[in-house]
Structure 1
Amino acid sequence: MTCIFCQIAAGQLPCAMVYRDTHCMAFMDVHPLGQGHVLLIPLAHVEKLEQLSTVIRQHLYQVFDTLLAAQRRAGFGVEGTHLIVNDGKATNQHIPHAHMHLVPRQRGDGLGFGLRMFMHFTGVFGRRTPLETLRRQALVIAAELDPQALENLAHRTSRLHAESTA
């Protein structure tokens, strides 16, 4: 298994996990564009979102909405958030596994953010943020999630996915 996201999902590499269910997981980016930068991935290894079933794609977007609200309640991205999806090689997707970036923004972060974004786009990531720092941020965001609502969503998605593939 060479995909770094698949290795993270399999527990072979450490991460600062925010959320996980049977279809997807969210964890902190080790090269964040800002504090609270979360990656959301499907557990299935696909390069592009279009390779996922409609049900699983919808699930990802529903989890995205839930994570976005949790980020904001936790104090990240209160003024705005970038949703970044690099879908395929032509978009400089550095890891060929579908994923979404939830990048909190704040007023006045333009120049620094723009430089970090440019560096990410060109494949220059710089130093990793210490895992313990990321774990603290993950705990703050995860504390703002509604576990019962997410569990219900995951069960509903599993049922719909089973029905659509039967």
Structure 2
Amino acid sequence: MRDGECVFCAIVRGEAESSVVYDDADVLAFMDLRPVTPGHLLVVPKTHAAGLEDLDVADGQQVWAVGHQLARALRRSGLRCDGINLFLADGAAAFQEVFHAHLHVFPRFVGDGFRIAADWRERTRSELDETAAVLRKALAAPTS
């Protein structure tokens, strides 16, 4: 792998080590090097996309479909798995560390140590309605 190059692109090309679980024409899935729990997988599109804004819709659909398949496989695998998380971080503020879009698929069980902390308090209907209006406007905006 060359300096400054995307490690996931190098893995897709077979130039960096990985433990592959799934491979098709558009998507590759492999074991996470720093797993939350045993069985933690990463599903990546083979075409580089730094984040969701850059990800082709068809590639995104295939990433999700493969993630779904792998979640089912985790439940049948015999690995400790009382639940599954599908997690996608888009941007540094969302804790994305490798800037090649990827879906984490990992088994969960009581006491596994993974947590997401937030301000989970209930919001007012007017605040939710206002945010929904902003998002509807953004959905209607033309894309470039």
Does 2:60 match 1:57?
yes
Q: Map 1:15-164; keep pairs closer than 5 Å.
A: 15-76=18-79, 78-109=81-112, 112-114=113-115
Single out whichever of 47-56 and 88-97 deviates more from structure 2: 47-56
- C-alpha contact (below 8 Å) 1:76/1:105 kept by paired residues: no
Give the number of the structure whose residues are more often helix, by fraction: 1
Does 2:15 match 1:6?
no
Q: Which runs of 5+ in 2 are unaligned?
A: 118-144
TM-score by length of 1: 0.63
Whole-angstrom distance in 1 between the partners of 2:80 and 2:100: 25
**Number of equivalences:** 114
- C-alpha contact (below 8 Å) 2:84/2:106 kept by paired residues: yes
Larger radius of gyration: 2
The residue type paired with residue 101 of structure 1 is H
Q: Which has the higher contact order (CA 8 A, sep 6+)?
A: 1
TM-score by length of 2: 0.72
Q: CA deviation at 1:33?
A: 0.6
